[in-house]
Structure 1
Amino acid sequence: MNTVNTINELREQVRAWKAEGLTIGLCPTMGYLHEGHASLMDASVRSCDRTVASVFVNPIQFGPNEDLATYPRDFESDCRLLEAHGVDLVFHPEPAEMYADDFCTFVDIDVLSKTLCGKTRPIHFRGVCTVITKLLNTVTPDKIFFGQKDAQQLAIIRRMVRDLNFDVEVVGCPIVREADGLAKSSRNTYLNPDERRAARILSRAIRLGQDIADGGERRSGKLLAAMKEKLVSEPMAEVEYVEVVNGENMQPVDTFREGDLVAMAVRIGGTRLIDNFTVGQPPIDFQEGQSNAD
């Protein structure tokens, strides 16, 4: 596995692979990798001849009061995981390599970015779309891989690729969870043991919502009321949102159907966690009372 830090080095390797007729998969990450990221690498390695992973904490997708400075980083550990999962090339640039001092060109998306996380993180998806556009232009991959945990991001990238005619297939990969159901996230490391135990409430609310939907309920209000009641039963949980939206345009729906998205953002202590499920997917499987905090 090779590591490059500049766009020119990255392009040089990609050109060589394309000259050989090889297909390329791209897995964009911000590092501090875990099994959820590994599942993206595995999917790329299975379906593409070569896999590129980026490890870059993208500064332009963080708001002024967010955790850019404290976002967890461990590049040596990341490299061990990437190599173990068959990644061929790691792109690990400095911010100055991606954004010149006078950088002023951004890629924004309307409608889909105004709901869910976009309500409280107004610049976030502009930053995501801009960095992904830069990576797509640099790597020109055949496929790009994202996790379903960031479901709004996945929907936004799909729409951006369609609207801007990028020649790439966007592949969504299932959420990877801990034994107690908590979705794998780099930010889980912020949780102290008590907060980690409290965070189980997210997967319990997700499972409750799935059970209600699988039972035939289609009224968003009924579903959301039950899920919110479950969430607020945990004293350490501060609910930012729980919403049901159309699975393609991310707009709220009063009556949901298969393929629509039920998403939440909840703060446990000072840590913001997100989770979701798609109506019609199999229910999540987890073990009550078991977590890495025990």
Structure 2
Amino acid sequence: MRYNSTTEQALGLDFTSAWTFPAAIDHTFLVDFVAGFAARNDTTRNDGDLIKAAAAGYDIPAAMYFGSEAIVVHVGDVLELYWMPRDSKNRTVSLACLICTEGRSGGVGRVFDACIKYTNESAITPFHDVKTLSPPNYEYTLPPLYRDVEISENSVGVCFFTLFEQEHGYGTNDYTIPFGVTPEKRESNTVEHWRFSAERSNGEPDPTIGASLESKSKGGLGKGVIAGIVMGVVAGVALAALLSWLLWRRRMKPKSVGGNSDDDSRRSVGAMGSIELQNRRHVEEDEEAPPAYHEVVRTSPDGERI
């Protein structure tokens, strides 16, 4: 999203965040961020710039708190988002991230230090995910952190959530603290997915979370699915060609001389149609005509009828 004058107005010191979990970003940091761009008359700042500013100068929480270096959310984990509802309306919540495809950097492998604090543009890819009409207690499953080009498992990133609300003629953007993410799988001897919430901000293993995820938020087909479709089409074409060849071969095969009983019977039945009707034999006038078939009777040697 892009900032504008109404957004800057909404960032006044009297602004109160609705976020409960994750916690709201430090408001003073946000005001200083906007003021820094305003001093340069730069109106092109966006979510990526806010993440870079957070990586460079945000006060990262102490270890073992959500948003610290020690707590990294993995793809497939569930975050129970909660914000204080101002009314009965649902809100639009979005996730904004910068992903470093080079992975962790530095001697201690800090997520917030990756890609030279996310300034190495050649190794950075942005990611956004928007959920409209979300209730204030919303279970959000972290999706695969890419759109069109897959990223390596050792990639890391920094994200934050945003609530958007339009009120009194202008919109407000309510931000959470930044936090680290990664598509990397956890160790095989541990539960694969964790659940984060206000009560479990450090996260807890949750074996009930399903391991299967959508390949793409836009519903695109994965490489494996595409390969399967291609192989299925090729196999279908090959089978059709084989059947056509077998039928052609059967038609071109010469008939057997001897034939079989079925062929002979078919030929005999067919031949019946070619038999010509024979004319009845002509009887001369002085010749006695043979009796009709119903008048023929057997007689005994003495001439009596039997």
TM-score where L is the length of structure 1:
0.24
TM-score where L is the length of structure 2:
0.23
